[in-house]
A and B are shown apart, each in its own frame.
Chain A
């Protein structure tokens, strides 16, 4: 496959109350952004188990976005604060294990930030297009037992 034919697959885990509504606002504001993204709506960033990120890669994602309400704005008060601590450790641990954390983007996008969402997705998509497919992870799927 020629390089220019590569289009990254991106999975986004977003919370229902801020980023999902923000992404909706992007649409209703008729802001265009690249369509490489598959959004998965969860109640809160507190629900984003770190395994969801790994599973997204295992199922062929080249990049992952995790996004929710800004600190202090979580619908459940503290879900994002707890999530943030988990991401801080997860991010660090994955670096230590040698995973490519350039492919995981954490962000806060509020329900009013439709434009921020469009910019974020565009930037992430462009970046992943440069990085290419996440073959070193996808290789693991076919490794070992044939």
Chain B
């Protein structure tokens, strides 16, 4: 932890960055985002296994970008999101430095996409073991059982859009969900509108979701909503071989095609 704090202090003191985004102690032992802008504040920074949040969502916010050059304390999910955002031209190459704390407690500074890409290649699969198991369980069910599962879950959705707000990949300034002339998807937390909203969200994240689980953690009513986007992501990976969050130059899988894409259901 001291190594990380010292690194942050150096970067700020030398003026190499104007803000270090990391984690600090939150309520109930949880970790929350921390925006460290002065050397006096580096003592707030913490790093441990509870630092699970994906901080990449802040990197594209105008009010954060205004602060100047950014260094972000990055876990695996944050690194993947950083690459994906770069691939989607939301972050300029090299605009953000990633600070990675190794298992040995050293701090690596990854200051360009190449370095991040190489580091991400050494990491284990992005989907957590628990989510992997849950996905496999759902896939083993019959269609009716899966429908019942999602109906149960989605009818509890209160349409707070926390899943959308928490996702680093949901950076559009205005969202079709908020369009009310015409109103494409009903805004009320009605089962039909809920199904439509979550279909749109999953389809829009297919090929882009870095499987960080942030949306599921953000949900106030505990819907494991990340399973939908993770499934959509997996579908793209399985069918088109494109894993999101692994390269800064990946073409959007649904914005391109191959003439020999293989399907089994078109008549």
Q: From DSSP, what is the main secondary structure of chain A's interface residues?
A: helix
Q: What is the number of contacts between chain A and chain B, taking CB atoms within 8 Å? A: 116
Of A87, A89, A90, A120, the most chain B CB neighbours within 10 A belong to A89
In the complex, chain B residues whose CB is within 8 Å of the CB of A107: 266-267
Interface string of A74-101 (1 = CB under 8 A from B): 0000100110111111111111111111
Count class of interface residues, chain A: 35 or more
Question: Using a CB-CB cutoff of 8 Å, which residues 207-258 of chain B contact chain A?
Answer: 207, 228, 231-232, 235-236, 239-240, 253-258
Residue count of chain B within 8 Å CB distance of chain A = 46
Taken together as a complex, chains A and B put the C-alpha atoms of A72 and B188 apart, in Å, by: 42
- Nearest chain A residue, comparing its CB with the CB of B235: A92
Question: What residues of B have a CB within 8 angstroms of the CB of A92 in the complex?
Answer: 235, 239
Q: A88-B263, A140-B195 are in contact. Are A78 and B257 (CB under 8 A)?
A: yes
User: Which of B31-39, B97-105, B110-118, B136-144 lies on the face that meets chain A?
Assistant: B136-144
Q: B147 contacts the other chain (Cβ, under 8 Å)?
A: yes
- What are 11 inter-chain pairs, A to B, with CB distance below 8 A? A54-B199, A58-B192, A84-B263, A85-B256, A86-B203, A89-B232, A91-B263, A92-B235, A93-B231, A106-B265, A120-B267
Question: CB within 8 Å of A: which residues of B?
Answer: 138-139, 143-151, 155, 184-185, 188-192, 195-196, 199-200, 202-203, 206-207, 228, 231-232, 235-236, 239-240, 253-259, 261, 263, 265-267
